[in-house]
Amino acid sequence: MSMFQRDPRAGIFFGGDRVSGQEIRDQNVIAALSIANIVKSSLGPLGLDKMLVDNIGEVTISNDGATILSLLEVEHPAGRIFVDLAQKQDKEVGDGTTSVVIVSSAELLRRANELVKAKIHPTTIIAGYRHACREACKFLVDQLSIKVDTLGRDALINAAKTSMSSKVIGGDDDLFAPMAVDAMLAVKTVNARGETRYPVKAVNVLKAHGKSARESLFVKGYALNCTVASQAMKTRISNAKIACLDINLQKQRMQLGVQILIDDPNQLEEIRRRESEITLERVRKILATGANVILTTKGIDDLCLKEFVEAGAMAVRRCRKEDLRRIAKSTGATLVSSLANLEGDETFEASSLGYAEEVVQERISDDELILVKGTKVVNSSSIVLRGANDYMLDEMERALHDTLSIIKRTLESGTVVPGGGAVETALSIYLENFAQTLESREQLAIAEFANALLVIPKTLAVNAAKDSTELVAKLRSYHNAAQNASAGDPKKALSRYGLDLLNGEVRDNVTAGVLEPTVSKVRSLKSAFEAAVSLLRIDDAIHCVPEQKGEPDPHGH
């Protein structure tokens, strides 16, 4: 009987299954490893893609850890924790989802499990891990991070390129990286508290079939994938006053179930005329406020189109509600879903109009797009992606989202660290040395934490078909020299060394331009530690089986 196992006679337990002690730990580790092994081969610039087919035959081809895990149907409760972990990392940082799962699940948990087998209590391991995580984050921020200001705009482009390198658009990073940086810089806003923010949502990504990925373009302004409702309308309006509606501008029809009894056939005509006039009155009320661009999520009747054309306004129907919300936000408009006011009449206030310098319909490739330029409140920008097929475009959009998030983090936090396994190796050496200074049992856990971090450079090298043992050993010796060097020593620069996977050697990754935002690394470490600890704490799993109610029906009713 293991040292930490509960007395099996403790508490009489009826129904359901109970797994406790070492057995449940082993199960959790197996579940974690099986998930980590799925995404392991997609880590890094030379990682491979996964093809996922769901139950209705929809195909997704992706390299993004969070996307892969969200499409997996994970039964094991411990496995689900890692799926949530990847989702959280994707939401908060945008990139680094694969590495966080590999570090936390596979390595931290597996090594902790080995320590428990060696008769070290889980509480000691958790305390050691927590200590290691705190020290690692401190060392990362104080010693390894570099201010973006000292590297300039190139640092942003390099951080973008690093994020892209493992994705579909990695081959064309010379085109996409500057494009993504421009898009993010264009949406800079300062909120009420005086903080500078770069909202990723303000960058609209449109997908258009045809041509090659290199034909993708960056458009200043918010692009709508719609066209004007009638060919007779203007396609360019300057000083646009924009009305965002969520109303159907089609002829009013009588509600179902409403009966009108009439005694004169002429009254029928009267009813019909009134039906069409209700909508026309609405349109006139909207135009009376000076609106010259009308965007609606529903349809517009031919009858109303005539009014818009005569007024010289531009009307667009069937826009996506999400697009309208963003346009309303960036132009200062209000998305109006009903014209009724508190008095029971129908009115349209001029205050709910938004303002933009120009709204224009342009032909980009085969599609007509409507661009809203020079918005009043938040500047917006759009990227039109071109690609051969849907899978390609979807994957490009995911990659671009990760890249934009990384640029946002870099701009908001203002510091970057060298990529390519440099950070993990430096932390590993530092924690190993740090563990030897402790006199408690925690040093074993900290040493294991240090070794767990090395899984990232090892996996990167393996995925690039290089000799991981040799490369990681070389990298460790460089980082060891850097940390033992005194302040003015040129060897100090060795702490920036990471892997060069294309040539299979070690190089200075700051000069090579492989950079990642510090926030991303710190967040991954913390998330990995938290997920590992939450599973380490478990020593008993009770699976309750629902009771059978009454006699089972032999006929299966």
Positions annotated as catalytic residues are 64, 97-98, 402
Phi then psi dihedrals of residue 290, to 5 deg: 95, 10
User: What is the per-residue DSSP string for 351-419?
Assistant: GG-EEEEEEEEEEETTEEEEEEEEESSS--EEEEEEESSHHHHHHHHHHHHHHHHHHHHHHHH-EEEET
User: Which residue has tokens 């009826």?
Assistant: 14
Displacement of CA 213 from its chain's centroid (Å) = 21
Distance separating alpha carbons of residues 152 and 411, to the nearest angstrom? 11
Distance separating alpha carbons of residues 422 and 245, to the nearest angstrom? 52
- Nearest by Cα to 306 from 226, 228, 233: 233
- Nearest by Cα to 139 from 428, 361, 370, 548: 428
**15 Cβ contact list (under 8 Å, min separation 6):** 544, 545, 547
The pair of three-digit structure tokens given for residue 469, joined into one six-digit string:
């043992």
Distance separating alpha carbons of residues 15 and 488, to the nearest angstrom? 68
The pair of three-digit structure tokens given for residue 140, joined into one six-digit string:
């990362």
CA angle 26/27/33 to nearest 5° reads 85
- Decide: 161 and 410 in contact? Cβ < 8 Å: no
